[in-house]
Amino acid sequence: MAAVAANVAAAAEDREPQREAVPGLESQWRQIENSESGRERPLRAGESWFLVEQHWYKRWEVYVQGGDQDSGTFPGCINNADLFEDQVNWRLKKGLVEGEDYVLLPAAAWHYLVDWYGLEHGQPPIERKVVELPSVQKVEVYPVELLLVRHSDMDTPHTAQFSHTDSVDLVLRTAREHFLVSPQEETRLWIKNAEGSFERLCNTRVTVLDAALKTGQVVIMETRNKDGTWPSAQPQAVNTALEEEEDFQGQPGICGLTNLGNTCFMNSALQCLSNVPQLTEYFLKNRYLEELNFCNPLGMKGEIAEAYADLVKQAWSGHHRSIVPHVFKTKVGHFASQFLGYQQHDSQELLSFLLDGLHEDLNRVKKKEYVELCNAAGRPDQEVAQEAWQNHKRRNDSVIVDTFHGLFKSTLVCPDCGNVSVTFDPFCYLSVPLPVSHKRVMEVFFVSMDPRRKPEQHRLVVPKKGKISDLCVALAKHTGMSPERMMVADVFSHRFYKIYQLEESLSSILDRDDIFIYEVSGRSAIGENSREDVVLPIYLRERTPARDYNNSYYGLMLFGHPLLVSVPRDRLSWDALYHILLYRLSRYVTRPSSDDEDDGDEKDIEDKDNIPKPGHVAGASSQDSGPEQAGPSSGVAGGSRAPVDNSPGPSHWPQRARRKHLFTLQTVNSNGTSDRSTFNEDTHGVSFSSQPYIAIDWEPEMKKRYYDEVEAEGYVKHDCVGYVLKKAPVRLQECIELFTTVETLEKENPWYCPTCKQHQLATKKLDLWMLPETLIIHLKRFSYTKFSREKLDTLVEFPIRDLDFSEFVIKPQNESAPELYKYDLIAVSNHYGGLRDGHYTTFACNKDSGQWHYFDDNSVSPVTENQIESKAAYVLFYQRQDVARRLQPQPSSSDPPASPACGSPPNSEFMDVN
């Protein structure tokens, strides 16, 4: 046996002549079992350990413990054949147990044994990694076996083994290598779950263990199409259309966005952002893939960044005339519930959300540290500003910060103690105010007491922060009527929505409100018992048969314009009130002829049997109170006041009536519904204890015969209606100056002074310290207050090129580099229409061609530069000139001339396109 052992040792030496001399058996035992490199050493994550078949190792133990190198117990070459299922794929048998089927040796011990005894020819070493699982470290004997397939060929899997600690990125690289994917092609992974559903493997930086990948799981590799879309994002039904789209080849970036329903605001913001050159290049060159932040609690798990990247790649592939941003819209609604559904929103608000979302999804800072705000405390501005910017970058470092973030200087001064607080704050865009006129144009209708005069439409110029009395004074200049004889009301749906007091603010009146100003008697007022006359709000109602089985119930429907009529407060009979109102309506209500009166006698007698209770019927009177008897309080010019009716009250009126009545009267509440509690009636007449509303109720037949609806709706326009408050255009520089003007804080937003130890209405001034590469300027066209909302359609004149900020930046400037303060326009978000409805579009300059285009949802057309400036301009995108030059490709001598850049004067060949 000793000879056999010697021959084996000799043969091993022949195979590996470089092998070191075999140490003594005792030394072998120490190196394999007890030394620092032996089996007793602790496991360390990432190290390699090797499997050795248990029977061979036991023979080796017997051999070395016997102490005789010439013994017949020599184990021979290491042979792990019993651990493999087959001799082809060399896959381990399932269910092997440590201590029964194999032993584990660290790398150094394994290499010692191979050097001393050799490994069976053709057998691979069984190397396994030490992995750190939750709360334990172990040798990973069985790695994860994944079935890798291509999205285009799901039936041909490739089996590959991965450690639990391998990254998903290694899985992706392995799949790319096996399926021979070129470096230029973009790929992503999906996994197929047990129930057959598919799930994206978004974060490729996590481990196989963290991604919960298990042996036998199918991993699908998907390759992006040439047109920027993913195969999985398109239903099978549109494959033919996609092939046609791929055949289309247009200018990259000249691609519309389909309106999904009131999503023009989103399309406008996306088109502007898509035409920021450095941001678009960042996504097109896939630099975002290395910076996706999936664990940022302030972010959106990378989903917004990936959705935006998909849009950019599709728009700039050159294979689409327009694309449908449905996936992006869904993602936005998921993370920002205010954008759920299909309501109209603000493009600037969407832009603000998108910039913040992209920043957090691409933030290079994985764990944000706590940073205290720094105050100047008398230090130089340069030092404080640098500290503030460094602190900002310690928590916020992304392509959005690199491209869009600048620095403000904020100065607060306490009005009491004079304490000055200086801080430097980052910003992503400038929201600049527009110079606002302190005047306001209001349209009103003036209703005279003279019934012969039609209502007059007036256009009045009043102070924006004025009162109702200012409105009356402005109208008095047009009419010559004293403001004291005017009463202002908001009419809505044939009733008075509100009757205003003179001291109320005009801000509570919206531009869309229908404002009527009524002439009343000089001694009239609502709710003032000291006045001789009372102003009665008068409604017009028509009886309409309700849909009932027997048509016995009658409904009442308001119609026409209500009136405010002055009447005597006390001792007023219903009959006198009837005739006062009949006179006020005389322009469009015809009195019955004598024949009509005769025809009506019999019916009147029958009707008197059903007279409603006092207070809501205009009864007949033996006296004929004609217009000549009505005094000034009734709205009749000339004549004495209507006489007091001394006849018995309405319940004692005689059953015969000489004159036919066209309508009945009833006290109602402010909504025009019945209310019988607002009058007192005695034998002498009716007096009102509180403010009543009176309804004039018409029978349908009587209204049809005597009420002229066309005449009732008629009005005339005063000469002032043609007046238009001219709004002079303002320069963008004026808006920026206004932005940096000192202002006093409002009561709702005071500042806590650390010296006074209380909140103060301090003065505040913002200055520009450092400007970003791409400057977004938001024109604050929408004004919102407690009572009013308006859109300012002032024309803001903004330069296409050479917007110079050197006069606004207070940081010490580098005079040798003036381009650091000059900007060129690259995009404009426009808003057309008013507050309640409107439409958003975009002007943008293509980074490759230098041509300006107009983006209106899925429609795109070339435009000239003189078409860009308009009253609709809402958000402006400017690029610093040094950045434009840096991004512009440098042509070689053999290259053709480059297209004009956005910052350069365009060739007329490009711009004279209609």
Taken in order 705, 708, 709, 710, is the CA torsion positive or negative?
Answer: positive
Place of tokens 């694309």: 323
Q: Strands 763-770 and 406-413, how do they pair? A: antiparallel
Q: What does the alpha-carbon distance between residue 218 and residue 220 come to, in Å, rounded to a whole number?
A: 6
Tell me the CB-side half-sphere exposure of residue 450, using CA atoms within 13 A. 7
CB 299 within 8 A of CB 358: no
Tokens of 373: 């705000």
Q: What does the alpha-carbon distance between residue 166 and residue 207 come to, in Å, rounded to a whole number?
A: 5
- Residues annotated catalytic, as ranges: 264, 839
Place of tokens 């908001």: 490
Tokens of 625: 């109170």
Residue 612 DSSP label: P
Q: Which of 795, 797, 781, 798 lies closest to 871, judged by CA?
A: 795
CA distances from 695 to 113, 427, 537, 703 (A): 112, 60, 8, 14
Q: Which residue type sits at 203?
A: N
Other CB atoms within 10 Å distance of the CB of residue 695: 26
**Which contiguous run of DSSP H or E holds residue 147?**
strand 144-150
CA angle 769, 420, 770 (to 5 degrees): 5
CB 468 within 8 A of CB 488: yes
Beta bridge partners of 431: 778
Q: Strands 486-492 and 514-519, how do they pair? A: antiparallel
Q: Strands 774-780 and 430-433, how do they pair? A: parallel
Q: Strands 127-133 and 48-53, how do they pair? A: antiparallel
Burial class (CB in 10 A: 0-12, 13-18, 19+), 758: exposed
Which segments of 609-749 does DSSP mark as H helices, in order?
A: 700-706, 709-713, 732-739
Tell me the CB-side half-sphere exposure of residue 466, using CA atoms within 13 A. 18
Q: Which of 361, 223, 356 lies closest to 296, judged by CA?
A: 361
Taken in order 393, 284, 911, 860, is the CA torsion positive or negative?
Answer: negative
Q: Which of 399, 391, 385 lies closest to 369, judged by CA?
A: 391
**Which contiguous run of DSSP H or E holds residue 730?**
strand 730-731
Helix, strand or coil, per DSSP, at residue 533? strand
Q: Strands 153-162 and 144-150, how do they pair? A: antiparallel
Taken in order 69, 75, 77, 78, is the CA torsion positive or negative?
Answer: negative
CB 333 within 8 A of CB 341: yes
The DSSP result for 503-563, as a single string, is TSBGGGS-TTSEEEEEE--TTEESS-TTSSEEEEEEEEEEEEE-S-SS---EEEEEEEEEE
Beta strands across the sheet bearing 102-106: 102-106, 48-53, 127-133, 136-139
Burial class (CB in 10 A: 0-12, 13-18, 19+), 828: buried
CA angle 567, 456, 514 (to 5 degrees): 80
Q: Which of 401, 308, 410, 324 lies closest to 363, judged by CA?
A: 401
Q: Which residue type sits at 499?
A: I
**Which contiguous run of DSSP H or E holds residue 252?**
none
CB 690 within 8 A of CB 678: yes
